[in-house]
Every structure is written in structure tokens, then in C-alpha cells.
Structure 1
Amino acid sequence: MRAATLTTKDKILQAAAEIAMEVGPVHLSLDAVARRAGLSKGGLLYTFPTKAKLLEALVEHHVAEFDESLRMQEARRNHKVNSVVQACIEVYRAEFVLNEPEPSGILAAIANDPSFIDPIRRYNKQLLDRMKENSEDPTMALIAFLTIEGLRSLKLLDMDTLTHEDQIAAIDGLRQLFAPCDPDKPSQPAGG
């Protein structure tokens, strides 16, 4: 069976994300993206007629990739109580442990046009609502959301004020807070 080939749009988005990561979002040029994607500039402009459209697509692509990973993790948990929160924690932890960089294309898009954050804002609102609706304790779901988004924002803005160990401890603390209860395991008294 042949490996799936990337569409022209996917090649362009991948090239744009790589270049934004390498040279910084401000220096992203359509010429460089076209070269990296193996296209003529005209070929790139056929798919994305402006740099703004390319940057907007980068934001939407990032949101779609995150949502796909999240829904796969959620399905693995059979959509039980707290499955949305658990899925968010696991997706973020996997990205963090693999030390995947936050997508620089997001910053490029937002720097170019602040309205490009709107799809992220809408998605995060829907995600937070899903987390709260699916949680035993909506306030704890909110705390998990804020912790994950805070860690992601620190990384995106390159303002890591926490050590790697502190960040892992925070993520693993969330994991424990939302771990499924084992009915066969006796409960421990608080503090024990």
C-alpha cells in the first residue's frame, strides 16, 4: 500500500510552518514558501492568493490538527465522564514530551492580522464548554483548561519561566486529578 501523498495545499502549509519556525514569522515570504513546497510562486498563489490567506489557513490547519488528535484520544476513553479533559491533557503532554515546537505560523498570522486569532478563540470556547459539560466538576475542568493553555502560551511566546521538570509536574498533576477511578482499588484518606 502506498503512503498517502500530500496535497498541494498540505505541502504549502507544511513549508510555511517550517519557514516560520526557522526564520521567524515576520520573515515568512511567499517566494520562500513556494520554493520549499516545490512550486512556482504562481502555483502557490493559485492555492493561496495572498499571504494573509496563507496565514489564515495556517491557523485553521493548526486548530484542525489539534482537534483531530483530541477526538482520537477522547474516543479511546469511550467518551466517558472527564474524557474530554483527559484527552486534552494527553494531547498536550504528548506534544510537550516530544518537545514539539508551538506552531510559529500562528504568531505570524496573528502579527499580520489580529483577527486570525478568532478561529482559535471560537475553538477554545467550544472546547472549554465541552470540557465542562463532560466533567464531574466543571470548575476543575476550567482549572485544567487554564493550566494547559497557560503552559502552551508560555511556550508559544518563548517565555518559559518554568523548568521542564516543573512543567511535567504540572501536566502529571492534572493527569492524576482526572485519572479514572479504579473501583477495585480502595480509596485512600486525604493526605495519605
Structure 2
Amino acid sequence: MSPERLPRQPTETKRRLLEAAESLARRLGPGNMSLDAVAAEAGVSKGGLLYHFPSKAKLMEALVEHHLSRLDAALRAEEATGRPNAAIKGYMNQFLEECARHTPPSSGLLAALAENPDLLSPVRARERDFLDRIRADATDPDFATVAFLGIHALRAMRMLGTEVLDADEIEAIVGWMEKEIGARGQ
């Protein structure tokens, strides 16, 4: 999918299936996530699941797109405000919202990438688009890039279970980055 095209919102059934797949990947691990389990978790027949996702590979691809679409929507909402540094603030806010939900990180994304490394290419392209938008919108593009990379590091630690900061420390460091971005915008 090209970064410029706005993604369609998934249907209610598709959304339930994606949420079920993500939840199962968190609980059971990527290798133990079956189409039967996803259908049961979502309360959808296996035929209904196969109608939307004809294979596990297509479901994994959709999980990656779903994750990236949420990030894109957060950036676009902030960018629409027209405020300086809106894109990086949206990126940071999306991460803080993920943390505030107190759910394990999106191992659905990790599951999909582990199952099909070819999905890294669209992830890389979308993340590059996010960074380009963040830099274009920033009053200090270099600091915005460092903030983007910092959020990436925090998100990766959560996803891999290698956190070296607790929730308060994460909130403090992201708060510091937001304050610095604000100060650089004046």
C-alpha cells in the first residue's frame, strides 16, 4: 500500500478478527496462533474468517497493516491541527496510549513479521513515510528524528519484553521529549 493512500476502515467482523489474532499472539505466541483459534476468539465461523482472510499469511499481512494504520491515523489527526511538531507529538501520544491501555505490546505485529519477513518491506516504507512527515513538520528536524528513534526503542523493548525502564520512567522520558520539542518550537 502506498503511504499516500488513506487506508479503509476494516468492517466490524474484520476488526474483531484482527483484535482476536492480536490477542492470541500476545497470549499464546506467534507460532501457536491458528486460524481456528482466531475464529473462535472472534466469535466468527472459520468460513467467515476465510472470507476475510483466505490464509494465515493474509491475516498476518492484515495485522501489520492494522498496526501501521493506527499509527498513521494518530499522525494524521495531529497533523490536521496545523500546529508545529504535530506529527512527532502524535507519534509519541500514540505510544503513550498503547502503554496506558496496560495491554502487552503488539506482538501481533511481531508474530506477522516472524512468520513472513517479506512484510518488513512495507513496514520500512510506512515508517520512512512517518519519519519524513515528522521531519517536514518539525521545528527541529534532527531532534524530532531522535524522538522518533527513542519511541522506536521504547516500543521495541516493550515488544521484546526487554524493558529497562518502568512505566513512570517511560512517561518521564517521553514527557521530557515533548517538553523539548515544545521549547524548540518557540
Instruction: Name the TM-score, length of structure 2 as normaliser.
Output: 0.86
Shift in Å, 1:109: 0.6
> CA separation in 2, counterparts of 1:37 and 1:71?
29
The aligned counterpart of 1:44 is: 49
Shift in Å, 1:181: 7.5
The aligned counterpart of 2:138 is: 135
Moved over 4 A (4+): 180-183
The aligned counterpart of 2:118 is: 115
Structure (1/2) with the larger helix percentage: 2
The aligned counterpart of 1:167 is: 170
Q: Secondary structure at the match of 2:182?
A: coil
Q: Is the 8 A contact 1:34 1:41 kept in 2?
A: yes
Shift in Å, 1:20: 1.1
Q: Secondary structure at the match of 1:161?
A: coil
Q: Is the 8 A contact 2:75 2:88 kept in 1?
A: no
Question: Match for 1:22: what amino acid?
Answer: R
Question: Match for 2:174: what amino acid?
Answer: I
Does residue 152 of the first structure (1) align with residue 150 of the second (2)?
no
Instruction: Name the TM-score, length of structure 1 as normaliser.
Output: 0.84
> CA separation in 2, counterparts of 1:73 and 1:96?
19
The aligned counterpart of 1:101 is: 104
Shift in Å, 1:133: 1.1
Shift in alpha-carbon separation, 1:164–1:8, aligned structure 2, 3 A: closer
Listed as ranges, the gaps of 5+ residues in structure 2 are 1-10
The aligned counterpart of 1:31 is: 36
Identity among equivalent pairs (%): 39
RMSD: 2.0
Does residue 17 of the first structure (1) align with residue 27 of the second (2)?
no
Shift in Å, 1:140: 0.6
| CA shift digits 1:47-84 (9 cap, x unpaired) | 11110110110110111112112222333xx2222111
> CA separation in 2, counterparts of 1:182 and 1:82?
7
> CA separation in 2, counterparts of 1:101 and 1:79?
32
> CA separation in 1, counterparts of 2:138 and 2:184?
13
> CA separation in 1, counterparts of 2:91 and 2:183?
14
Shift in Å, 1:98: 3.3
Shift in alpha-carbon separation, 1:137–1:82, aligned structure 2, 3 A: same
Q: Is the 8 A contact 1:73 1:90 kept in 2?
A: no
Q: Secondary structure at the match of 1:179?
A: helix
Shift in Å, 1:21: 1.4
| CA shift digits 1:132-181 (9 cap, x unpaired) | 11112111111111111110010011111122232122101101111268
The aligned counterpart of 2:85 is: 82
Listed as ranges, the gaps of 5+ residues in structure 1 are 1-5, 184-192
